[in-house]
């Protein structure tokens, strides 16, 4: 599948196959980093992290204020806005980079795009009430991710007869809903949701069969960085998942991913460059 450039609130995201897959850096805006250093301090820290990721070659920075870890508490609209808006504003002011807002809440989508976000990354694929309308109003690209259930309970007992078919059908249905709501098809991206209500083997099947998702005609985003399936396969603690994450990300590229969401931007950018060089050897 050939893609051109996506227009993200004035900035271009080049997804053509003559360039390496793009890296989306993860910027964590969780309460810990907010402790009592005050808003200014944490915004400053986030800005520094963003600048480092840009230097390391990120094409997009994903800013999220809701934890989707299993068991994490729900966050109110106001809390989420308080966490993400100052950070989006400061990145937008100081840097030239596409900012993605990781949210499921319509109000946060609207305010984030007003503050400078150029992409919506929704792990609930615009299923929250009002999300389709809000995303449509903003006009920015939207990543639709598959998640079985809700973060709090999704890992309790994941079961699928055919995980690839179920996830692909779900994404096709969400694409249809978006288009019925007036969202142009060419602003949509898809993501099978590695780690969201899936066992290790489900996640591996999704990677192995990722190429089937190219039939949906949308750019593919994959997030595998430091996830528990990688730790489980390697039997390593959380801080020793880099090599496994890079190997998995490289395979995702081989199987058709256009964007890789990652914590370790520099290493991931090296990996996508190597993937791209090998893919284009002799041409």
Q: Which positions lie near ligand 8Y4, rule CB under 6 A?
A: 64, 68, 102, 121, 123, 143, 145, 191, 193-194, 221, 223, 226-227, 261
Nearer to ligand 8Y4, 93 or 99 (CB): 99
Percent helix, strand and coil across the chain, each to the nearest 5: 45, 15, 35
When the beta carbons of 91 and 171 are compared against ligand 8Y4, the nearer one is 171
User: What distance lies between CA 130 and its chain's CA centroid?
Assistant: 21
Cβ atoms of 100 and 24 within 8 Å: the answer is: yes
Between 72 and 77, name the residue whose CB sits nearer to ligand 8Y4: 72
Q: Which residue is nearest to ligand 8Y4 (CB)?
A: 223
User: What is the side-by-side order of every strand in the sheet holding 22-28?
Assistant: 188-191, 142-145, 119-122, 98-102, 60-64, 22-28, 259-262, 221-223
- Minimum Å gap between C-beta 46 and ligand 8Y4 is 16
The closest of 129, 126, 120, 161 to 146, measured between CA atoms, is 126
Strands (E), the chain: 5-8, 11-14, 22-28, 60-64, 98-102, 119-122, 142-145, 188-191, 221-223, 259-262
Q: Name the residue nearer to ligand 8Y4 (CB basis): 36 or 207.
A: 207
DSSP label of 162 = S
Contact (CB, 8 A) for 27 and 71: no
Q: How far is the CA of 5 from the CAs of 86, 112, 141, 271, in angstroms? A: 28, 22, 11, 22
261 included as an active-site residue: yes
To ligand 8Y4, the closest distance from the beta carbon of 190 in angstroms equals: 9
Give 156's Cβ-side CA count (13 Å radius).
Answer: 8
Helices 106-115, 131-138: crossing angle, 10 deg rounding: 10
Q: How far is the CB of 197 from ligand 8Y4 (least distance, A)?
A: 12
Q: How far is the CB of 121 from ligand 8Y4 (least distance, A)?
A: 5
Distance CA 14, CA 20 (A): 9
Instruction: Indicate the residue among 173 and 277 with the shorter CB distance to ligand 8Y4.
Output: 173
The CB-of-86 to ligand 8Y4 minimum distance in angstroms stands at 19
Q: Given the complex with ligand 8Y4, which of 94 and 201 has the nearer CB atom?
A: 201
Q: Residue with structure tokens 């196959």?
A: 17
CB of 61 to ligand 8Y4, least distance (A): 12
Q: Given 227, 236, 241, 273, which residue is catalytic?
A: 227
Catalytic residues: 227, 261
């Amino acid at each position: 599948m050939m893609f051109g450039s996506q227009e993200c609130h004035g900035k271009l995201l080049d997804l053509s196959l003559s360039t390496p897959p793009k890296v989306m850096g993860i910027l964590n805006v969780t309460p810990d980093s907010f402790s009592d250093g005050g808003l200014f301090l944490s915004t400053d820290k986030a800005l520094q992290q963003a600048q480092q990721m840009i230097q390391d070659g990120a094409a997009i920075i994903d800013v999220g204020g809701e934890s989707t870890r299993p068991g994490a508490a729900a966050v109110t609209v106001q809390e989420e806005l308080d966490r993400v808006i100052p950070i989006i504003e400061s990145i937008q002011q100081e840097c030239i980079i596409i900012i993605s807002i990781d949210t499921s809440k319509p109000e946060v989508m609207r305010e984030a795009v007003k503050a400078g976000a150029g992409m919506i990354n929704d792990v609930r694929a615009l299923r929250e009430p009002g999300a389709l309308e809000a995303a449509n109003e903003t006009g920015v690209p939207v990543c639709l991710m598959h998640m079985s259930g809700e973060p709090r309970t999704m890992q309790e007992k994941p079961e699928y007869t055919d995980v690839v078919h179920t996830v692909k059908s779900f994404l096709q249905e969400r694409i249809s809903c978006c288009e019925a709501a007036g969202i142009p098809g060419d602003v949509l991206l898809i993501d099978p949701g590695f780690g969201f209500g899936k066992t290790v083997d489900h996640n591996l099947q999704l990677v192995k069969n990722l190429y089937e998702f190219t039939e949906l005609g949308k750019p593919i985003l994959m997030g595998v960085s430091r996830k528990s399936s990688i730790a489980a396969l390697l039997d390593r603690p959380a801080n020793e998942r880099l090599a496994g994450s890079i190997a998995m990300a490289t395979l995702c590229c081989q199987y058709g991913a256009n964007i890789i969401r990652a914590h370790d931007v520099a290493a991931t950018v090296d990996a996508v460059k190597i993937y791209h060089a090998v893919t284009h050897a002799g041409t």
